[in-house]
Amino acid sequence: MPDSPHAETLDIETTQPREQARAAVVSVENVAVSYPSREGVFHALSDVSLRVARREFISLIGPSGCGKTTLLRLIADLAQPSTGTIRVNGGTSRQARGDRSYGYVFQTPALQPWRTALANVMLPLEIIGLAANERRARATAALMAVGLGDAASRYPWQLSGGMQQRVSIARALSLRPELLLMDEPFGALDEITRDKLNLHLTDLWRDRDLTVIFVTHSIPEAVFLSTRIVAMSAKPGRISRVIDCGLPRRRTLDIRNTPEFLAISKQVRDALSDAYANE
Amino acid sequence: MSPATPLAVLALAATVGIAALMALTRLANRPGRAAAILTPMLFAVLVLFLWEVLTRGLAVPQVLLPAPSVIARAFWNASPELLQDVRQTVLFAAIPGFVCGSALGMVTGIAVDRSPFLQQGLLPLSSFASVIPIVGVAPIMILWFGFGWQSKAAVVLLITFFPAFVNMVAGLREASPIERDLMASYASTYWQTLWKLRLPAALPFLFTALKVNASLALIGAIVAEFFGAPVYGLGFRISAEIGHLALDRVWAAIAVAAAVGSGSYALLTAAERAATFWHPSQLPGSDRNS
C-alpha cells in the first residue's frame, strides 16, 4: 500500500498522551466469565482489567484456554461477562455493537460462497441500509485498500486462503470502524503470506488511525504488530503480564532483526513460559 | 408358431443386445458432452427395441405386457383424453398441492426454528404425521373435500409438507456459529440474518426437499384418484382402463406420468444448479457423474 502524503505526521512515539489514555476506546474492569462444567465451575476469565487507548495495537497472547478469544468476544458483545463491566467508546458494548463501531475479523474468513469478493464486502453495508451506489463505491475502496481491487468479481472458492482473509479484512474495514477486533486472523496461513499480511495490517493501522485488539499464538507476530502485548495464562484465564512494545509506529519486516525486537520477544517468551508452566 | 421361433427370437435379442451394449460401453468411456448425452438416449432406444422384439417374437399376451409400438398407438389414439388427464392430475392436484405443501412446510420450519416451544411440541407430532399412509388419508380427504381436484390437492399437500418441513429445519442449522457471529457483529436483525445468511445456506436442503416432493406429489395425486375421481385424471384413467383390460392405455397413461415426473425433476435440477452453483456439490471437480 502506498504511504499517504501526511503519513509522517502520524509517525510519532508510541507512548500515548495522558488525555488520550484517559479516553479509553475499550475499558475492561474486573471482568470474570465462569460457567458450570462437569468438573465444577469453569473459570474462562478471572478478574481481568484492561484499558485500550486510541491508536493502540494490543496483542492478546497465551496458551489455549487462557480466554483470549473470550475476552475479544466480550468486547464485541458476542458474549456476556458473569461479573465486571466492559465499556467501549464510553458506552456499553451492546451500544457499540449497535453503532457498528468495531470491525471483527474471525479465525476463518467466513465468506459467503454465493457472493463474489465485492458482494461479500458489501454485506455489512447492506445490513446498515446504505444505498447501492454508495455500497459499491465503499466496498471497491475497501478491496483496493487490501490490494484486491482486481479480484472483485471472483468467488471465495476461486481465491487463496490469504486472499480470502484479506477480503474478510476489507469487509471489516468497509464499515469504517475505528476499532478492529481480530481473532487469530492469520493463524491458518503459511509464514510468507503471514509476513505480507502483517506488513499490510501495520500500514493500515498506522495510516487509518485504527485501534486494534489482536489475538495470536505467535510471539514474532505479536511483537511486530503491537504497541502493547498482553500475556495471558489459563486455569483460570487471566492476564499474567503486560509488556510495552516501544518500537516505532512505522515498521518494516527487517525490524525483526533489531536488538530491541529480540529483547521484547524474550520478555514475551519469559512471560509465556511462566504461563505454560502452570499447565 | 413353431417351437423354434422363441429360441430364434431370444438368440437374436441376445446377440443384438450384447453387441449394442459393448458399443455403448465404448461410447460412454469417451470424453465430451456428445457422448454424455448420446449414451443414455441410445440406451433407451436399445431397451425399447429389445422390448418390442421380445414381446412380439415371444408372443407375450397384451394383457401382461404390450409392445412399445402398441402403447405408442394407444397414446396417439387417446391423446386428447390423456391431455385432459394431465391437466386434471398435474395442473389442478399435483402442482397446487406441491406448492402449498412445500411452502407450508418451509414456513412451519422457520417458525419451529424460531420458537423453542414449537420445537418441542411440533417436531415429534410432525414426525408422527409423516408416517401416516396416504392410502388411508385419501378416502378421508374425499369425504371432506369431495370428488374433485380439491381432495387430491389436499392429499398432495399432506404428503409434501413433511419433507419440506424437516429439510427447512435442518437447512437453517447449516450456517456456522462464526457466520452467525459475523451477522451479530453488524447488529443484524433476525430477519436480515435469515434472509442474507441462513436461507441461502439452507438452499441445498430446500432443493432436496423440492425434488423429493415433485415425485411424491405426482404419486400422491395419482393414487388419490383411485379412491374416487371425476371421469378424468391419470389415476382415474389407470384404474378405469385396468377394468376394461385395455392395458395399452394403462401403459400410455403410465408413460405420460413418468414423462411429467422426469420433466419436473429435470426442471428442478436445472434450477438447483443455477441457485446453488456455489455449493461444493455443484462446483467443477466435485464427484459429478458424466
pLDDT at A65: 84
Closest partner CB to B185 (pick from A104, A107, A108): A104
- Say whether A97 and B283 touch across the interface (CB within 8 A): no
* B181·A106 Cβ contact <8 A: yes
Average model confidence (pLDDT) for chain A?
Answer: 88
Residues B46 and B85 in one domain: no
Prediction ipTM score: 0.87
Chain A: nearest CA to B174, how far in angstroms? 12
B270 and B218 both lie in a single domain: yes
What is the arithmetic mean of pLDDT over A53-78?
A: 93
Chain B residues with CB under 8 Å of A78 CB are 181, 184-185
- Is residue B48 located within the same domain as residue B129? no
pLDDT of residue B208: 95
Task: Specify the pLDDT at position B288.
Answer: 41
User: Which residues of chain B neighbour A107 with C-beta distances below 8 Å?
Assistant: 178
If one compares B62 and A134, the residue with the highest pLDDT of the two is: A134
Give the pLDDT score at A5: 44
Report CB contact under 8 Å: B179, A97: no
CA atoms in the 13 A half-sphere facing the CB of B142: 16
Say how far apart CA B242 and CA B64 lie, in whole Å.
11
Distance from CA of A257 to the nearest CA of B (A): 37
Region B54-79: mean pLDDT is: 90
User: Does residue B70 sit within a domain?
Assistant: no
**Domain residues for B216?**
75-282
* pTM (2 d.p.): 0.84
Question: In angstroms, what CA-CA distances link B138 with A119, B19, B101, B192, B228?
Answer: 48, 48, 15, 40, 9
Predicted confidence band of residue A2 (pLDDT cuts 50, 70, 90): very low
What's the pLDDT score for residue A201? 94
In angstroms, what is the C-alpha Rg of chain B? 24
Average pLDDT over residues B73-100: 93
Are both B40 and B108 inside the same structural domain? no
Judge if B86 and B55 occupy the same domain.
no
At B192, which CATH number? Answer: 1.10.3720.10
Q: Is some CB atom of chain B closer than 8 A to the CB atom of A113?
A: yes
User: Is B66 part of a structural domain of the chain?
Assistant: no
Tell me: cis bond preceding A236? Omega within 30 of 0 counts.
yes
Instruction: Judge whether B123 is closer than 8 Å to chain A, CB to CB.
Output: no
User: Above 80 in pLDDT, residue B66?
Assistant: yes
Q: Structural domain tally of chain B?
A: 2
Mean pLDDT for the stretch of residues B215-224:
92
**pLDDT score for B8:** 84
What's the pLDDT score for residue B27?
Answer: 83
Q: Does any domain span residue B20?
A: yes
The three cell numbers locating residue B155: 392429499
* Residue B126 CB-half CA count within 13 A: 23
Band (pLDDT 50/70/90 cuts) for residue B17 is confident
pLDDT score recorded for residue A127? 95
Q: Is residue B13 domain-shared with residue B141, that is, in the same domain?
A: no
Q: Residue B103: which pLDDT band, with cuts at 50, 70 and 90? A: very high
* Average model confidence (pLDDT) across chain B: 88
For residue A73, the chain B residues in CB contact (below 8 A) are 181
Which of B182, B188, B192 is the best substitution to test chain A (most A C-beta atoms within 10 A)? Answer: B182
Q: What's residue A3's pLDDT?
A: 43
Ranking B23-37, B169-183, B253-267 by mean pLDDT, the lowest is: B23-37
pLDDT given for residue A9 in this prediction:
41
Domain co-membership, B197 together with B157 = yes
Question: Do residues B196 and B55 share a domain?
Answer: no
Task: Indicate if the pLDDT at residue A85 is higher than 60.
Answer: yes
Q: Is the pLDDT of residue B2 over 60?
A: no
Q: How confident is the model at residue A19, as a pLDDT?
A: 46
Residue B182 lies in a domain: yes
B115 and B148 inside one domain: yes
Report pLDDT for A278.
61
Does residue B286 register a pLDDT over 70?
A: no
Chain A residue numbers with beta carbons less than 8 Å from the beta carbon of B176 are 110
pLDDT at A36 over 60: yes
Question: Is B38 in the same domain as B105?
Answer: no
Cβ-Cβ pairs closer than 8 A, A with B, add up to 49
Q: Which three cell numbers stand for residue A23?
A: 479516553
pLDDT > 70? residue B272 = yes
Q: List, as ranges, residues 172-201 from B with C-beta within 8 Å of A.
A: 176, 178-179, 181-188, 192, 196-197, 200
How many Å apart are CA B93 and CA B155, to the nearest integer? 9
Q: What pLDDT, on the 0 to 100 scale, is given for residue A125?
A: 96
B68 found inside a domain: no
Strand-strand pairing, A57-61 and A102-105: unpaired
- Report if residue B17 sits inside a domain: yes
Average pLDDT on B81-99 reads 93
Which residues 55-74 of A have a C-beta within 8 angstroms of B? 73
Listed as own residue / partner, the contacts of A266-273 with beta carbons closer than 8 Å and 24 or more positions apart are A267/A243, A268/A61, A268/A219, A268/A222, A268/A223, A268/A229, A268/A231, A268/A243, A269/A219, A271/A231, A271/A240, A271/A241, A271/A243, A272/A61, A272/A62, A272/A63, A272/A219, A272/A231
Residues B48 and B155 in one domain: no
Answer yes or no: is B91 within a domain: yes
DSSP H or E run through A73: helix A68-75
| Position B130 in a domain | yes
CA distance B285 to chain A (A): 12
pLDDT tens-digit series, residues A182-199: 999 998 888 888 999 999
Cell numbers found for residue A195: 509476513
Q: How far is B181 from chain A (nearest CA, A)?
A: 7
Do B226 and B168 share a structural domain? Answer: yes
Cα gap B22→B34, rounded to integer Å: 18
